[in-house]
């Protein structure tokens, strides 16, 4: 952008948000040019940082966001909305410069309805703050992802996030009653107050998972729950992954509603469960299953699940190890366990499919990556952590301990591994992402994923965002 | 560059957002470059020679209030605050310290007797203490004055001689100068403090705030080994005193909100003492602030209020807002400096009774000893 032009937009932004909420120094902008996507981190580590926003703004209210977007339309400037900067696929990186709207000053709790059990809250709130607020009043959102400490509610809504209790309480989209959204042309709209109706499509779903391409979600009404009377967590070890998956499927299709159901493959059992969570297991497939709610109901569900697990020859490791998982569940996300702190090339792929495809998808991906990248001694492990009556998510991760030093070779290898993994997903009726979103990284695969149906997304995008200014680098939209 | 000793810390933190939410500065400004991750990130650009240090980076480095909340929740032993201290030393040595930092440094040096050896010698020679005297190392403030008067009264009731050494305007000059990046001046203060310790007679020397005591005990350069037993933090002294001398304190059974002191961290040996006294000895019904114990937080730190008062005010406002949730009007925090910080907010000052540990134990319902 020409500096005269920058100056003009800068002055207009100052009029909207005030000088104190506008940041234009290189250092401040640099910090908004990277998120948790491993590739963007490596760019920085290798000294290749290039993509800077032109402006970083921290608006204090919805009207300011509306005005910023109207301004961006006038000058055709890209707008990237950012929350905690914890996206794992480059969805918040300002590839084309423009205005980064950091939404974290919109962090107010607007109302708590204790009769209908819902909360209206601005989306810049850190999820941990929302959860603490609710807990102190005897409630919970039951959305407890590993990134609860570093992500905003808006981030979760924009990527259709899942928490560790999703097998019972659903994903974030299942918790939404209604949304307030600033459209790509600056108008402020509210969706219908409840999500279950037959008055046309639920338009809130146009914005959930849209990664900021169809507007800025500025507040949400979310359903909340009472804190449970009990939480049970039990740990089991199965002889192999196949038995663990079958037993878990049976628990789900029988409607036992576990709050937690995590199945670790043999590799993850060794690497994550033992090394990172400190749980002493060696072989087989480790499973944690949890139930919560009223004691009598949770106990009955738990007993039914135990019967099923026993049928598949599961060895009961006890409640202590189950609780240990619950207590340590976020540890793998802190240094020294995080993979980036070890300078590896790594990736966490996150897909979902129906029960009939799960094992096939997993085995195909494992075979493909281990064979194709054997020269790099690739390590492939996975766990299965978000379960539904009809299927489950597969959460594979790959690690290359000695990646190429040359940054371009590093990126080429990374892309080749991801491409091979995504091919397996698409060939096996998998979906590109269960809860991490698409971001920039998976954008090229969206058309292949949706086939003809992508037209619907494209028409929505063109209709709502005619100047294509809203986060233009993600979800595979035309540039 | 001192910061070169912390390259590993910078590398570990520059991509890790897990501690961002506990940073009180970032909770107020919401700005990425105020977070632990953001600070490590921008400094990584400097140490990797991708960018030159500039005014904005220096500002961000000085906006950290060194409360160590990020360190408190970290799973590993790398420390962002230590990296910040090293970066500030570099900035000072490069003669790039911002104007407010230089002003505060000068003010500390001019208004604290420990910064000047002649005044230190005066302090030592004017002391009329004996080997049985409890000497309180105090500073000039309303709340520390109040604490001293309570200590004096309690000791007098027990026929113990008490004396005060008033060091001047600021509570902990060595720690403050270190925070600002003036390590040499900080070391000088510690040496001067050592002179006092060696030349004043005392049974116990009580430090009203923990910062300089902590530095002194960790210091490699000062030799006080044989004296260190007599140097105590106020909480330790109080606990010992109550155990030995105070026979009974009326049980208050009153609800109070307890705010962790910024200087009293969970890793410190005296972390639990104030709560123990408030609950077990005085019978208060304590409601812990949401961040106590697990995450730490800060009332605003030692120097931030003088450097970036808007951020400092913002942090206090956050605390004020969170206090509203508890529906309790009495707030106890064990450090007099924290009380002064909290009382800068009119909303807090007018609507809450903010008291320190000593007042809570001995003034509210009168000492029962």
Q: φ and ψ at A29, to 5 degrees?
A: -70, -35
Say yes or no for a CB contact (<8 Å) between A149 and B44: no
| Chain B residue set in contact with A, beta carbons under 8 Å | 11-21, 30-33, 37-38, 41-42, 44-45, 48, 50-51, 54, 56-57, 60, 74-76, 78, 290, 325
Q: Give the DSSP H/E element, type plus range, for residue A321.
A: helix A319-328
Q: Which two tokens stand for residue B314?
A: 């913002």
B41 to chain A: which residues are within 8 Å by CB? 30-31, 34, 44
Grouping H, G, I as helix, E, B as strand and the rest as coil, residue A433 is strand
Q: Which two tokens stand for residue B329?
A: 């009007």
DSSP assignment letter at A46: T
CATH topology of domain B246-362: Rossmann fold (3.40.50)
Say yes or no for a CB contact (<8 Å) between B41 and A31: yes
Average pLDDT of the residues of chain A = 94
What residues form DSSP beta bridges with A315?
A237
| Chain A residue set in contact with B, beta carbons under 8 Å | 23, 25-28, 30-32, 34, 36, 41, 44, 47, 49, 58, 84-86, 102, 104-105, 107, 124, 126, 128-129, 132-133, 136, 147, 149-150, 330-331, 333-338, 340-341
Say yes or no for a CB contact (<8 Å) between A34 and B48: no
Q: Give the DSSP H/E element, type plus range, for residue A410.
A: helix A407-427
CA atoms within 13 A of residue B272's CA, in its CB half-sphere: 4
Average pLDDT rounded to a whole number, residues A237-247: 96
pLDDT attached to residue B265: 63
Handedness of CA B333, B337, B339, B342 (dihedral sign): negative
Q: Is the pLDDT confidence value at A277 over 80?
A: no
Look up tokens 């910023």; give the residue. Answer: A68
- Candidates B12, B14, B15, B60: best to mutate against A (most CBs of A within 10 A) is B15
Q: Domain ranges in chain B?
A: 2-96, 107-242, 246-362
CB-nearest to A25 from B15, B56, B290 is B56
CB-nearest to A104 from B30, B37, B75 is B30
CB-nearest to A334 from B18, B38, B57 is B18
Tell me how close the Cα of A435 comes to any Cα of chain B, in angstroms.
Answer: 19
**A99-118: per-residue pLDDT in tens?**
999 999 999 999 999 999 99
Look up tokens 């497939």; give the residue. Answer: A285
Strands (E), A385-460: 391-400
Say yes or no for a CB contact (<8 Å) between A27 and B20: no
What residues form DSSP beta bridges with B165?
B137
| A and B: number of Cβ contacts within 8 A | 100
Average pLDDT rounded to a whole number, residues A213-242: 97
Closest residue by Cα to residue B173 from B157, B156, B184, B185: B185
- Interatomic CA distance for residues A383 and A273, integer angstroms: 10
- Interatomic CA distance for residues A53 and A42, integer angstroms: 19
Look up tokens 């004396």; give the residue. Answer: B163
Say yes or no for a CB contact (<8 Å) between A31 and B54: no
pLDDT attached to residue A458: 97
- Interatomic CA distance for residues B330 and A467, integer angstroms: 56
Nearest CA in chain A to B22: A149
What residues form DSSP beta bridges with B285?
B255
High-pLDDT (> 70) share of chain A, %: 97
CA distances from A50 to A29, A36, A91, A152 (A): 11, 16, 16, 26
Q: Is the pLDDT confidence value at A365 over 80?
A: yes
CB-nearest to B17 from A85, A124, A132 is A85
Tell me how close the Cα of A340 comes to any Cα of chain B, in angstroms.
Answer: 8
pLDDT attached to residue B321: 87
Average pLDDT rounded to a whole number, residues A437-455: 97
Q: Are strands B353-355 and B330-332 parallel, antiparallel or unpaired?
A: parallel
Cβ neighbour number for residue A464 with a 10 Å cutoff: 19
Tell me how close the Cα of B12 comes to any Cα of chain A, in angstroms.
Answer: 5
Q: Enumerate long-range contacts of A272-281, CB under 8 Å, 24 or more apart.
A: A272/A332, A272/A381, A272/A383, A273/A325, A275/A337, A276/A328, A276/A331, A276/A332, A276/A337, A277/A324, A277/A325, A277/A328, A277/A329, A277/A331, A277/A332, A278/A324, A278/A328, A279/A235, A279/A321, A279/A324, A279/A325, A281/A237, A281/A317
**Predicted confidence band at A239 (pLDDT cuts at 50, 70, 90)?**
very high
Say yes or no for a CB contact (<8 Å) between B74 and A334: yes
**A323-335: per-residue pLDDT in tens?**
988 998 887 777 6
- Candidates A28, A107, A342: best to mutate against B (most CBs of B within 10 A) is A28
Q: φ and ψ at A399, to 5 degrees?
A: -135, 135
**A288-322: per-residue pLDDT in tens?**
999 999 999 999 999 999 999 999 999 999 899 89
Q: What angle do helix axes B36-47 and A38-45 make, rounded to 10 degrees?
A: 40
Domains of chain A in sequence order = 3-104 (3.30.43.10), 109-226 (3.30.465.10), 230-333 (3.30.70.3450), 339-436 (3.30.300.330)
Say yes or no for a CB contact (<8 Å) between B75 and A126: no
pLDDT attached to residue B368: 40
The secondary structure of chain B, three-state, reads CHHHHHHHHHHHHCCCCCCHHHCHHHHHHCCHHHCHHHHHHHHHHHHCCCCCCCHHHHHHHHHCCCCCHHHHHCCCCCCHHHHHHHHHHHHHHCCCCCHHHHHHHHHHHHHEHHHCHHHHHHHHHHCCCCCCCEEEEECCCHHHHHHHHHHHHHHHHCCCCEEEEECECCCCHHHHHHHHCCHHHHHHHHHHHHHHHHHCCCCEEEECCCHHHHHHHHCCCCCCHHHHHHEEEHHHHHHHHHHHHCCCCCCCCCEEEECCCCCCCCCCCCCCHHHHHHHHHCCCEEEECCCCCCCCCCCCCCCHHHHCHHHHHHHHHHHHHHHHCCCCCEEECCCHHHHHHHCCCHHHHHHCEEECHHHHHHCCCCCCC
pLDDT attached to residue B367: 40
Nearest CA in chain A to B289: A136
pLDDT attached to residue B369: 35
Tell me how close the Cα of B269 comes to any Cα of chain A, in angstroms.
Answer: 25
**Positions in chain B whose pLDDT score sits under 70:** 222, 225-226, 247-248, 262-268, 363-369
CB of A84 within 8 A of CB of B20? yes
CB-nearest to B38 from A31, A334, A340 is A31
**A141-174: per-residue pLDDT in tens?**
999 999 999 999 999 999 999 999 999 999 999 9
- Candidates A335, A337, A340: best to mutate against B (most CBs of B within 10 A) is A335
Nearest CA in chain B to A36: B15
Residue B296 region, left (φ>0) first, then alpha (ψ -120 to 50), else beta?
A: left
Q: Please give the distance of CA A303 from its chain centroid, rounded to a whole number.
A: 32
Q: What is the CA radius of gyration of chain B?
A: 21
Say yes or no for a CB contact (<8 Å) between A31 and B12: no
Cβ neighbour number for residue B126 with a 10 Å cutoff: 9
Q: Please give the distance of CA B331 from its chain centroid, rounded to a whole number.
A: 18
CB-nearest to A41 from B15, B30, B60 is B15
Q: φ and ψ at A219, to 5 degrees?
A: -150, 160
């Amino acid at each position: 952008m020409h500096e005269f032009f920058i100056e003009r937009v800068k002055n207009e932004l100052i009029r909207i948000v005030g000088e104190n909420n506008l940041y234009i120094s290189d250092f401040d902008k640099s910090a908004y040019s990277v998120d948790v996507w491993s590739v963007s981190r490596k760019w920085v580590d290798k000294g290749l940082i290039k993509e800077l926003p032109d402006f970083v703004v921290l608006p204090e209210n919805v009207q300011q966001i509306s005005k910023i977007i109207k301004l961006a339309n006038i000058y055709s400037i890209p707008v990237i909305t950012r929350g905690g900067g914890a996206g794992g696929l480059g969805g918040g990186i300002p590839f084309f410069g423009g205005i980064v709207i950091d939404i974290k000053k919109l962090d107010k709790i607007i109302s708590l309805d204790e009769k209908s059990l819902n909360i209206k809250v601005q989306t810049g709130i850190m999820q941990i703050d929302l959860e603490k607020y609710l807990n102190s009043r005897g409630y919970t959102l039951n959305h407890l992802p590993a990134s609860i400490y570093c992500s905003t509610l808006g981030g979760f809504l924009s990527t259709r996030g899942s928490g560790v209790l999703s097998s019972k309480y659903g994903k974030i989209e299942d918790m939404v009653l209604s949304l307030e959204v600033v459209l790509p042309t600056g108008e402020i709209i509210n969706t219908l107050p409840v999500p279950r109706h037959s008055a046309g499509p639920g338009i809130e779903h146009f914005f959930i998972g849209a990664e900021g391409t169809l507007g800025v979600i500025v507040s949400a009404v979310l359903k909340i729950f009472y804190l449970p009377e009990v939480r049970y967590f039990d740990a089991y070890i199965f002889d192999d992954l196949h038995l663990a998956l079958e037993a878990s499927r049976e628990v789900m299709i029988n409607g036992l509603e576990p709050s937690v159901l995590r199945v670790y493959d043999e590799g993850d059992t060794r690497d994550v469960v033992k090394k990172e969570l400190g749980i002493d297991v060696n072989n087989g497939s480790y499973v944690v299953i949890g139930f919560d709610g009223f004691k009598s109901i949770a106990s009955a569900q738990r007993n039914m699940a135990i019967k099923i697990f026993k049928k598949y020859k599961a060895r009961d490791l006890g409640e202590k190890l189950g609780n240990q998982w619950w207590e340590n569940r976020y540890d793998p996300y802190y240094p020294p366990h995080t993979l980036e702190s070890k300078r590896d090339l790594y990736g966490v792929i996150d897909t979902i499919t129906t029960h009939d495809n799960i094992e096939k998808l997993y085995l195909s991906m494992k075979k493909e990556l281990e064979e194709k990248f054997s020269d790099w001694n690739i390590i492939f492990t996975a766990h299965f952590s978000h379960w539904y009556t009809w299927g489950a998510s597969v959460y594979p991760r790959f690690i290359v301990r000695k990646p190429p030093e040359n940054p371009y070779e590093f990126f080429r290898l990374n892309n080749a591994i991801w491409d091979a993994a995504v091919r397996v997903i698409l060939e096996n009726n998998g979906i590109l992402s269960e809860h991490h979103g698409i971001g920039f990284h998976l954008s090229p695969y969206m058309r292949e994923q949706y086939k003809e149906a992508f037209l619907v997304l494209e028409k929505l995008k063109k209709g709502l965002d005619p100047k294509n200014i809203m986060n233009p680098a993600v979800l595979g939209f035309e540039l | 560059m001192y910061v070169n000793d912390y390259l590993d810390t910078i590398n570990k933190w520059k991509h890790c957002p897990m501690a961002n939410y506990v940073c009180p500065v970032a909770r107020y400004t919401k700005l990425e470059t105020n977070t632990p991750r953001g600070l490590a990130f921008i400094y990584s650009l400097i140490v990797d020679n991708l960018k030159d240090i500039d005014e904005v980076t220096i500002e961000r480095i000085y906006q950290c209030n060194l409360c160590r909340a990020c360190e408190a929740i970290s799973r590993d032993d790398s420390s962002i605050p230590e990296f910040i201290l090293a970066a500030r030393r570099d900035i000072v040595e490069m003669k790039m310290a911002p104007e407010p930092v230089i002003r505060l440094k000068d003010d500390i040096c001019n208004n604290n007797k420990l910064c000047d050896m002649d005044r230190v010698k005066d302090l030592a020679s004017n002391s009329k203490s004996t080997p049985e005297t409890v000497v309180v190392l105090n500073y000039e403030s309303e709340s520390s004055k109040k604490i001293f008067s309570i200590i004096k009264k309690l000791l007098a009731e027990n026929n113990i001689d008490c004396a005060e050494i008033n060091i001047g305007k600021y509570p902990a000059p060595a720690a403050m100068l270190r925070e600002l990046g003036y390590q040499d001046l900080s070391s000088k203060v510690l040496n001067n403090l050592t002179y006092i310790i060696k030349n004043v007679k005392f049974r116990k020397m009580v430090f009203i705030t923990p910062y300089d005591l902590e530095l002194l005990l960790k210091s490699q350069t000062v030799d006080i080994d044989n004296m260190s037993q007599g140097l105590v933090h106020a909480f330790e002294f109080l606990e010992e005193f109550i155990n030995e001398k105070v026979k009974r304190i009326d049980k208050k059974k009153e609800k109070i909100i307890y705010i962790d002191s910024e200087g009293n961290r969970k890793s410190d040996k005296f972390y639990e003492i104030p709560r123990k006294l408030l609950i077990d000895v005085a019978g208060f019904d304590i409601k812990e602030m949401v961040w106590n114990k697990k995450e730490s937080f800060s009332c605003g730190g030692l120097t931030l209020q003088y450097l970036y008062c808007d951020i400092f005010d913002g942090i206090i406002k956050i605390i004020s807002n969170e206090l509203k949730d508890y529906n309790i009007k009495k707030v106890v925090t064990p450090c007099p400096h924290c009380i002064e910080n909290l009382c800068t907010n009119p909303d807090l000052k007018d609507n809450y009774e903010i008291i320190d540990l000593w007042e809570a134990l001995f003034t509210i319902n009168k000492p029962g000893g």
